[in-house]
């Protein structure tokens, strides 16, 4: 007899990408981290942090962090809800909006944590397949589902494809439930502005930003939900009291204030992405054009599972999604620094030699 609710017994646990031991010599291209260091101003904020402050609880919502985010995203501070990573906001959304007898919709393939949270809450999952070889956002399918909560990652993972603003506008206007636009990778897109205007315009839209990718702070665990205060107030009822620690809030605020650092590193990643796309294509790989900091790419004539294993044996970690037939012939490869990408290409040439 199980002690768990039946939906917990029935579901599979989320499997994160492998993290090697700190300092291990691997080329880590499996979890879309930024190859460049965080802002020196963020590092200084961490060094200068007064640890005596840890004796007392942090503010339940850090005013310093919401003020910094408000400045960057050009919204009032009450429009910002910080989370312990954007994963935390995804959990709060699922807890506050969905549950038994309710539905969570998302296009597939996508970030599987949306499904995980739907299953934990006992909500029904409505999956709309991305369309065609270009993995185009299934706007009509999502509108038809009209779920209580809809997640769209834009750009999407693991495809790297970005949906045009007009498609998101149609979703925002047509859905009566909550639309969460997860912009974890927005810093690597054209102008980086994303869908904040949709959150300003539509009461049911929440935009997620994270410091994990563009800001090189995946280990800090800071994400931000941006929406009107009424929507945020409901979501925050499902919040841990002190979900963001005092040190992380301080470091994150400093990182947000250094847009120039983030933008310069994002531009370097984008340049490397275009170079790596060309290099893999020249080796006969099928590479989907990406607006993010990773590529979904199919090995030349090869078996993705085999190449995944062979790369791993050479100390190069990438992501393989064997279970999903639409992408089982491809690998998701994070765009690393120039040395990482060179090591990847050398290993690929070695494997196929």
Q: Applying CB under 6 A, which residues contact ligand PLP?
A: 32, 85-87, 111, 153, 157, 182, 184, 210, 212-213, 218, 223
Nearest CB to ligand PLP, comparing residues 85 and 138: 85
Buried b (16+ CB within 10 A) or exposed e, 268-278: bbbebbeebbe
Contact 130, 159 (CB under 8 A): yes
Nearest to 253 by CA among 282, 224, 274: 224
Contact 195, 209 (CB under 8 A): no
Determine how many CB atoms are found less than 10 A away from the CB of residue 120.
18
Nearest CB to ligand PLP, comparing residues 217 and 311: 217
Report in angstroms how near the CB of residue 221 gets to ligand PLP at its nearest: 7
Nearest CB to ligand PLP, comparing residues 32 and 116: 32
- The residue whose Cβ lies closest to ligand PLP is 85
Nearest CB to ligand PLP, comparing residues 158 and 298: 158
Q: Which helix (H) or strand (E) holds 7?
A: helix 6-10
Q: What share of residues in the chain are helix, strand, coil (percent, to 5)? A: 40, 15, 40
Place of tokens 């919204």: 75
Nearest CB to ligand PLP, comparing residues 46 and 302: 46
Report in angstroms how near the CB of residue 338 gets to ligand PLP at its nearest: 22
Place of tokens 């925050």: 236
Nearest CB to ligand PLP, comparing residues 184 and 226: 184
For residues 227 and 309, what is the distance between their CA atoms, to the nearest angstrom? 42
Report in angstroms how near the CB of residue 2 gets to ligand PLP at its nearest: 29
Detail the DSSP E strand segments found in 221-322.
Answer: 223-226, 286-287, 294-298, 316-317, 319-320
């Amino acid at each position: 007899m199980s002690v768990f609710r039946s939906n917990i017994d029935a579901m599979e646990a989320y499997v994160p990408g492998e993290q090697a031991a700190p300092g291990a010599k691997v080329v880590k291209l499996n979890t879309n981290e930024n190859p460049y260091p965080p802002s020196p101003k963020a590092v200084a904020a961490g060094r200068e942090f007064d640890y005596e402050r840890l004796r007392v609880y942090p503010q339940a919502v850090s005013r310093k962090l919401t003020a910094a985010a408000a400045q960057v995203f050009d919204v009032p501070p009450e429009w910002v809800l910080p989370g312990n990573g954007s994963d935390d906001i995804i959990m709060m959304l699922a807890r506050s909006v969905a549950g038994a007898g309710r539905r969570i919709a998302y296009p597939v393939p996508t970030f599987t944590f949306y499904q995980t949270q739907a299953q934990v809450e006992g909500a029904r999952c409505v999956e709309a397949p991305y369309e065609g070889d270009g993995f185009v956002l299934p706007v009509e399918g999502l509108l038809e589902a009209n779920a209580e909560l809809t997640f769209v990652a834009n750009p999407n993972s693991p495809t790297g494809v970005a949906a045009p603003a007009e498609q998101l506008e149609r979703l925002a206007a047509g859905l009566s439930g909550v639309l969460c636009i997860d912009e974890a990778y927005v810093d690597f897109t054209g102008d980086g502005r994303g869908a904040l205007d949709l959150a300003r315009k539509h009461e049911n839209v929440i935009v997620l930003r994270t410091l994990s990718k563009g800001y090189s702070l995946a280990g800090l665990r800071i994400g931000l939900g941006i929406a009107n205060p009424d929507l945020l107030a409901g979501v925050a009822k499902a919040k841990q009291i002190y979900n963001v620690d005092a040190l992380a809030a301080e470091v994150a605020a400093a990182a947000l204030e250094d847009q120039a650092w983030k933008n310069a590193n994002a531009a370097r990643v984008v340049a490397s992405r275009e170079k790596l796309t060309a290099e893999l294509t020249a080796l006969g790989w099928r590479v989907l054009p990406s607006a993010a900091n990773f590529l979904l790419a199919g090995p030349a004539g090869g078996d993705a599972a085999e190449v995944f294993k062979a790369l791993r044996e050479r100390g190069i970690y990438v992501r393989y999604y064997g279970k999903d037939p639409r992408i089982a012939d491809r690998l998701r490869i994070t765009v690393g620094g120039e040395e990482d990408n060179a090591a990847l290409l050398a290993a690929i040439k070695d494997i196929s030699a």
